[in-house]
């Protein structure tokens, strides 16, 4: 047990926690904006997988990580428009279309990858986004290493938490936005354009989820393999629920999931007696245990997941 508790082990553990929590956080914030407008999108996993592929491919050909992230975001928006048009304009079931996205996107990603790289069997390496060392702050021992020597997207993700909090709870626009998810009919009578807000929410969610996926292939590693997303979209979805649909709650949930995952990877390396599968189960089992303990009280937006039709009474 001695090697588990030394300082460098802990330092590495916390650094890994931040790296692992970031994609979850990006995706979960996207889902928060979606669900706050009443759009329960379970297609996050799919959006992440196409984002991961597009990020990798664009990075591979252009060697520009920013272009890779941007392209992934745009494709994410495009794909999520299928979901948006079907659920908002046609009133189709949101869960069903989320599932459709989850089936379409990984297939699309696999298809594109085979078309583009079918001739090479070696492991292709794309680009990696360089990390930014924040001046002064990054020189603080331990804390500087953990928090201030990261990829720019990490800072973006953490910056979005207070910004989203201010938007949702301190501005009129945020109040209007939340009203769409709580009681769209009342919102409509107050002159809020419900349909426009819902479409906006899908644009944000599509972009954020795909960027979260691209983080995996542009920042976390620089390679792509099928199934790289590995259920992270669903973990982000449970982070929104566990975080009680608030920015600060989501931050906490993502950090806990990130910590679990970082811990299991480290334990696998240290331990060779216990089968590694037991460690790999930790994040999933932990998610379940957390959900069981805290329950899922109906704290979410009231009209979440419900199709809205202006003409219906």
Partner 1 sequence: MKKIKSCIVPLIAVLFAFTVGGIIMGCLGTNPFMAYAALFTGAFGNTSMIAQTLALACPLMFTSLAAAFAYKCGVFNLGGEGQFIMGALGAVTFIELTNAKGGIGIAVSVIIGVIVGGIWALIPGILKIKRGLNEMIVSIMLNYVATLIMSLVYTNIFRDGSIPQTSEVADSLKLPFISGNFRVHYGVVIALILGIVLYYIIFHTSYGFKVRAVGDNPVATKMNGYKVSFIMLSAFVISGAVAGMGGSVELLGKQFRLQSGFGAGFGFDGVAIALIAELNPIGALIVSFLFAVLRKGATALQVSMGVPTAIADIIQALIIIFAVGGTALEKRKQKRVKTKTVVTVKGKEMAA
The footprint of partner 1 (CB under 8 A) covers: 42, 82, 86, 90-93, 95-97, 99-100, 102-104, 106-108, 110-111, 114-115, 118, 231, 234, 237-238, 241, 275, 277-278, 280-281, 284-285, 287-288, 291-292, 295-298, 309, 311-313
Q: Smallest distance from the beta carbon of 292 to partner 1, in angstroms? A: 6
Strand ranges in 142-283 using DSSP code E only, listed in sequence order: 149-150
Q: Smallest distance from the beta carbon of 149 to partner 1, in angstroms? A: 32
User: Which tokens go with 52?
Assistant: 């991961």
**CA angle, corner 133, sides to 132 and 139, nearest 5?**
170
Give the residue with the Cβ less far from partner 1, 99 or 156: 99
Q: Smallest distance from the beta carbon of 64 to partner 1, in angstroms? A: 26
Task: Give the bridge partners for 150, in sequence order.
Answer: 132
Contacts of 52 (CB under 8 A, 6+ apart): 72, 109, 213, 214, 216, 217, 224, 228, 229
Give the residue with the Cβ less far from partner 1, 204 or 239: 239
Give the residue with the Cβ less far from partner 1, 99 or 200: 99
Give the residue with the Cβ less far from partner 1, 11 or 267: 267
**CA angle, corner 24, sides to 160 and 279, nearest 5?**
150
Give the residue with the Cβ less far from partner 1, 82 or 267: 82
What 3-state DSSP class applies to 216?
helix
The CA distance from 162 to 25, in Å, is 13
Give the residue with the Cβ less far from partner 1, 8 or 119: 119
Contact 34, 193 (CB under 8 A): no
The CA distance from 194 to 216, in Å, is 34
Q: Smallest distance from the beta carbon of 23 to partner 1, in angstroms? A: 17
Give the residue with the Cβ less far from partner 1, 217 or 238: 238
The CA distance from 239 to 34, in Å, is 14
Give the residue with the Cβ less far from partner 1, 179 or 254: 254
Q: Smallest distance from the beta carbon of 117 to partner 1, in angstroms? A: 11
Q: Smallest distance from the beta carbon of 47 to partner 1, in angstroms? A: 13
Q: Smallest distance from the beta carbon of 92 to partner 1, in angstroms? A: 4
Cα atoms found within 13 Å of the Cα of residue 114, Cβ hemisphere only: 7
Q: Smallest distance from the beta carbon of 96 to partner 1, in angstroms? A: 5
Contacts of 11 (CB under 8 A, 6+ apart): 142, 145, 146
Task: Give the bridge partners for 149, in sequence order.
Answer: 133
Contacts of 172 (CB under 8 A, 6+ apart): none
């Amino acid at each position: 047990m001695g090697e588990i508790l030394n300082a460098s082990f802990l330092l590495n553990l916390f650094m890994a926690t931040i790296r692992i929590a970031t994609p979850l956080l990006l995706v979960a914030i996207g889902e928060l904006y979606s669900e706050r407008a009443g759009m329960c999108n379970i297609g996050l996993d799919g959006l992440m997988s196409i984002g991961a592929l597009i990020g990798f491919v664009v990075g591979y050909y252009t060697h520009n990580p920013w272009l890779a992230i941007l392209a992934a975001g745009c494709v994410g928006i495009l794909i999520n428009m299928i979901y948006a048009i079907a659920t908002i304009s046609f009133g189709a079931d949101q869960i069903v279309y989320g599932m459709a996205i989850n089936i379409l996107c990984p297939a699309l990603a696999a298809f594109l990858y085979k078309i583009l790289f079918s001739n090479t069997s070696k492991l292709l390496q794309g680009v990696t986004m360089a990390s930014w060392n924040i001046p002064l702050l990054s020189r603080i021992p331990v804390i500087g290493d953990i928090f201030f020597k990261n990829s720019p997207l990490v800072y973006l993700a953490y910056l979005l938490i207070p910004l989203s909090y201010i938007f949702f709870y301190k501005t009129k626009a945020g109040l209007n936005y939340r009203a769409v998810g709580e009681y769209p009919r009342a919102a409509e009578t107050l002159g809020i354009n419900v349909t426009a807000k819902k479409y906006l929410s899908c644009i944000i969610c599509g972009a954020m989820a795909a960027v979260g996926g691209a983080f995996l292939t542009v920042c976390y590693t620089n390679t792509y393999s099928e199934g790289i997303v590995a259920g992270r979209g669903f973990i982000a979805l449970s982070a929104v629920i566990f975080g009680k649909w608030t920015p600060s709650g989501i931050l906490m949930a993502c950090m806990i999931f990130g910590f679990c995952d970082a811990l299991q990877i480290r334990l696998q390396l240290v331990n060779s007696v216990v089968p590694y599968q037991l460690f790999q189960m930790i994040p999933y089992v932990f998610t379940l245990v957390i959900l069981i303990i805290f329950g899922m009280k109906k704290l979410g937006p009231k009209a979440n997941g419900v199709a809205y039709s202006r003409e219906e009474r």
